[in-house]
């Protein structure tokens, strides 16, 4: 479905190309190639904001993610951000493979789509409202399909066009990084409600489909994934990374702290885990919802707050800000969520601001509050300043830590690898992978994991790993699977899944399709201005000591150069 917010009209378009693009990532790239503008800025009204699912969405367990594609306000290049929640299954049952949103609404609006619905509703009264409150109101405004819908919305950060603004998906999940929230803000689009209000037929011959479904379900149960994510979830990584001297502390001034245990997965699970939730269609239920209860009056009056926690947010507003109390970490996660900011970007940006203040590169004239590692109160205030762009400093910081550092100084200690770093100070390979990776995250390849097991400096092997690990991810991101299921959805299993639904042609060409999709994404990326040679790695990363010892500057530079050259070749390759 194509929605034009300027005209207030929508059209259903049948697009050819399933056999090349698959869905998800591949479909987004194809749609952007056809409908986007590589030479116009990210906030041009004609630029599309795309949400896409894939051929396996809803048909198999853990096929539960939506890909959002857009030209990013962070670097004005083509990018993607992925989220779970209910968005993917709601889209499936709305009968749509993708929504392409173009134009700019005259007033702040709420878009409602479903199998028999397209409405653009005036929502000016929600503008300025935080993510949690606006979610509650939208649930009443769209009084149907309860439990069978997805509500995507932005907070003040998105409205203020911060390049760190996320799109909140169903309260506890996010299209987090690279500023998708600002794209919605630029379109005057406060929220999107997707109604999953139809059902779909299964293949005529249901036997093969049912058999493969059962196999996948059993694989999920056997994989150990249920235990890992039922138990501590991703925060289980925290202690391991700390022990490996790879957990960034206080703006990456250290990679280990004696007291890490205080914010370990166990600490959160034992005292602050309220319950677990699942993305629709996934039996794993990896979402860990924490809670805090706060006394606000002497007379035993309390309020409570709920927020989802994971390893990355704990790193970003925990160790990176020198926070050692789970309650403080949870408060900051909740506040950042509420403001509609990406928690990783916000935490890392404020860590830089704190060190810059300590070194007198900036003053409280810029930061307003006295930022200090470990002081939750100042960060709670700063998060709001950042989301609302309170002064010129916060407005620049919201465009990226390096943007602020270029203005005020302190580039050397800005923890930016293409964007604010993810929580893995594992060494040269991860620094290269995030700096040059498509989404500038730990999700493009498992470099962070490879590096926890490989201490050797074998450039060829490392580059081979990066290149070969990206391909199966391109496939998974086009189906669209949760990456937690990557061991379950082997190429063979994907073939079976696709064949059981009648997608034989896709099943037979997975290798070619993976290369094609990877090339189309990178081509768009380069066409919108990406040049590996322009990406620099700040000096702070060259001073890191991980379990492998000090970072080897020469190896890091060689890795970066070699990977950049390979990416150029991919973008220029004729995969068609």
Partner 1 sequence: MKVLKATRIERCIGCHICSMTCARLVHGLLSWQDAGIRIKSAGGISTGFEAVNCLACKEPVCEKVCPTEAITRRKTGGIRINRQLCIGCTRCADACPVNAITLTGSGFPIVCIHCGLCTRFCPHGCLEMVDMAETDNRQPGEGFHG
Site residues (CB under 8 A) for partner 1, limited to 162-201: 170-172, 196-201
Q: Which of 48, 58, 108, 427 is close enough to bind partner 1 by CB under 8 A? A: 58
Nearest Cα residue to 476 out of 57, 47, 30, 164: 57
In angstroms, give the least distance from the CB of 388 to partner 1: 25
Q: How many CB atoms lie within 10 A of CB 377?
A: 12
**Pick 13 or 202: Cβ nearer partner 1:** 202
User: By CB under 8 A, what part of segment 303-342 binds partner 1?
Assistant: 306
Q: How far is the CB of 517 from partner 1 (least distance, A)?
A: 25
User: Omega before 480 cis (within 30°)?
Assistant: yes
| Exposure string for 137-149, b = 16+ CB within 10 A, e = fewer | bbeebbeebeebb
Could you tell me the smallest distance in angstroms from the CB atom of residue 214 to partner 1?
10
d(CA 557, CA 35): 37
| Residue 226 interacting with partner 1 (CB under 8 A) | yes
Least distance (Å) between residue 248 CB and partner 1: 31
Tell the smallest beta-carbon distance from residue 217 to partner 1 (Å).
7
Q: Is 146 in the site for partner 1 (CB under 8 A)?
A: yes
In this complex, which beta carbon is closest to partner 1, that of residue 280 or of residue 419? Answer: 280
Please state at what angle helix 24-35 crosses helix 459-479, rounded to 10 degrees: 80
Interactions with partner 1, residue window 452-471 (CB under 8 A): none
What gap in Å lies between CA 284 and CA 486, rounded to an integer? Answer: 14
> Between the CA of residue 523 and those of 114, 570, 574, 576, what are the distances in Å?
33, 8, 10, 12
Question: 74 to 93, contacts with partner 1 by CB under 8 A?
Answer: 89, 92-93
Please report how close the Cβ of residue 491 comes to partner 1 at its closest, in angstroms. 24
Of the pair 61, 181, the CB lying nearest partner 1 is at: 61
- CA dist 38 and 77 (Å) reads 8
Closest approach, Cβ 536 to partner 1, in A, equals 42
Could you tell me the smallest distance in angstroms from the CB atom of residue 159 to partner 1?
A: 22
Total residues at interface with partner 1 (CB under 8 A): 41
48 in helix, strand or coil?
Answer: coil
- Of 171 and 520, the one with the shorter C-beta distance to partner 1 is 171
For residue 569, give every residue at least 6 positions away whose Cβ sits within 8 Å of its Cβ, in sequence order, or none. Answer: none
Closest Cα to residue 291, out of 348, 330, 341, 260? 330
For 355-406, what is the HEC assignment?
Answer: HHHHCCCCCHHHHCCCCCCCCHHHHHHHHHHHHHCCCHHHHHHCCCHHHHHH
Nearest to 443 by CA among 415, 414, 480: 480
Q: Which residues make beta-bridge pairs with 306?
A: 291
Chain positions 255 to 294 lying near partner 1, rule: CB under 8 A, are 275-285, 287, 289
Which one, 170 or 342, has the nearer CB to partner 1?
A: 170
Cα dihedral 490→429→440→348 (10° resolution): 130
Cβ proximity to partner 1, 124 vs 210, nearer residue: 210
SS3 call for 352: helix
CB-CB neighbours of 341 under 10 Å: 30
Least CB distance from residue 184 to partner 1, whole Å? 20
Angstrom distance (rounded) from CA 239 to CA 245: 10
Q: Which of 14, 39, 147, 460 binds partner 1 (CB under 8 A)?
A: 147
Choice between 333 and 471, CB closer to partner 1: 333
Per-residue string for binding with partner 1, 534-553, x by CB under 8 A?
--------------------
Q: Give the neighbor-by-neighbor strand order of the sheet with 301-309.
A: 273-277, 287-297, 301-309
- Residue 202 near partner 1 by CB under 8 A: yes
- Smallest distance, partner 1 to C-beta of residue 148, A: 6
Residues between 111 and 140 that touch partner 1 (CB under 8 A): 135-136, 139
Q: How far is the CB of 27 from partner 1 (least distance, A)?
A: 19
Residues 490-519 that bind partner 1 (CB under 8 A): none
Considering the complex, state which of residue 94 and residue 367 has its C-beta at the smaller distance from partner 1: 94
- Of the pair 213, 547, the CB lying nearest partner 1 is at 213
Of 201 and 296, CB closest to partner 1:
201
* Closer residue to partner 1, CB minimum distance, 31 or 142: 142
Element (H, E) at 153: strand 149-153
Interface with partner 1 by CB under 8 A: which residues?
A: 58-59, 61, 89, 92-93, 135-136, 139, 146-148, 170-172, 196-202, 206, 210, 213, 217, 226, 275-285, 287, 289, 306
């Amino acid at each position: 479905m194509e929605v034009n917010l300027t005209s207030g009209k929508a059209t259903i378009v049948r697009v050819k190309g399933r056999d090349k693009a698959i869905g998800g990532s591949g479909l987004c790239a194809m749609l952007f190639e056809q409908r986007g503008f590589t030479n116009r800025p990210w906030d041009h009204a004609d630029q599309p904001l795309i949400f896409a699912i894939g051929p396996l969405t809803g048909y198999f367990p853990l096929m539960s993610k939506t890909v959002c594609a857009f030209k990013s306000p962070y670097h004005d290049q083509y990018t993607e951000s992925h989220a779970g929640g209910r968005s993917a299954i709601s889209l499936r049952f709305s009968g749509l493979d993708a929504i392409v949103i173009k134009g700019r609404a005259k007033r702040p609006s709420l878009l409602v789509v479903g199998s028999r619905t397209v409405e653009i509703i005036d929502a000016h009264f929600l503008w300025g409202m935080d993510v949690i409150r606006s979610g509650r109101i939208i649930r009443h405004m769209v009084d149907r399909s309860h439990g069978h819908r997805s509500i995507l919305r932005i907070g003040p950060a998105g409205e203020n066009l911060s390049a760190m603004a996320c799109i909140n998906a169903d309260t506890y999940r996010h299209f987090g990084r690279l500023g998708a929230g600002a794209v919605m803000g630029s379109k005057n689009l406060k929220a999107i409600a997707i109604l999953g209000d139809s059902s779909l037929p299964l293949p005529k011959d249901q036997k093969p489909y049912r058999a493969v479904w059962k196999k996948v379900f059993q694989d999920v149960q056997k994989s150990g994934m249920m235990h890992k994510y039922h138990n501590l979830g991703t925060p289980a990584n925290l202690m391991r990374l700390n022990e490996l001297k790879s957990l960034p502390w206080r703006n990456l001034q250290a990679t280990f702290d004696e007291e890490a245990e205080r914010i370990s997965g166990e600490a959160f699970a034992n005292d602050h885990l309220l319950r677990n939730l699942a993305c629709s269609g996934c039996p794993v239920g990896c979402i860990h919802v924490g809670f805090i209860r706060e006394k606000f009056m002497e007379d035993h009056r309390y309020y409570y707050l709920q927020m989802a926690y994971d390893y990355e947010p704990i790193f970003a507003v925990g160790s990176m800000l020198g926070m050692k109390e789970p309650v403080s970490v949870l408060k900051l996660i909740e506040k950042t969520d509420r403001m509609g900011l990406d928690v990783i970007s916000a935490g890392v940006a404020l860590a830089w601001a704190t060190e810059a203040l300590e070194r007198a590169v900036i003053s409280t004239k810029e930061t307003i509050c006295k930022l200090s590692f470990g002081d939750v109160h100042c960060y709670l205030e700063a998060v709001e300043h950042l989301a609302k762009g309170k002064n010129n400093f916060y407005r620049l910081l919201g465009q990226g830590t390096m943007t602020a550092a270029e203005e005020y100084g302190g580039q050397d200690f800005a923890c930016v690898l293409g964007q604010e770093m993810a929580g893995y100070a594992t060494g040269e390979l991860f620094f290269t992978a995030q700096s040059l990776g498509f989404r500038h995250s730990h999700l493009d390849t498992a470099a962070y994991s490879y590096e926890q097991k490989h201490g050797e400096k074998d450039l060829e092997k490392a580059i081979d790993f990066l290149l070969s690990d990206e391909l199966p991810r391109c496939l998974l991101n086009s189906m669209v699977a949760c990456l937690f299921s990557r061991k379950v959805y082997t190429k063979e299993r994907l073939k079976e899944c696709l064949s059981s639904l009648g997608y034989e042609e896709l099943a037979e060409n997975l290798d070619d399709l993976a290369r094609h999709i990877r090339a189309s994404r990178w081509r768009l990326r380069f066409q919108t201005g990406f040049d590996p040679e322009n990406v620099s790695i700040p000096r702070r990363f060259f001073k890191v000591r991980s379990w492998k010892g000090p970072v080897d500057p020469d190896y890091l530079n060689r890795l970066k150069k070699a990977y950049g050259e390979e990416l150029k070749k991919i973008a220029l390759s004729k995969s068609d």
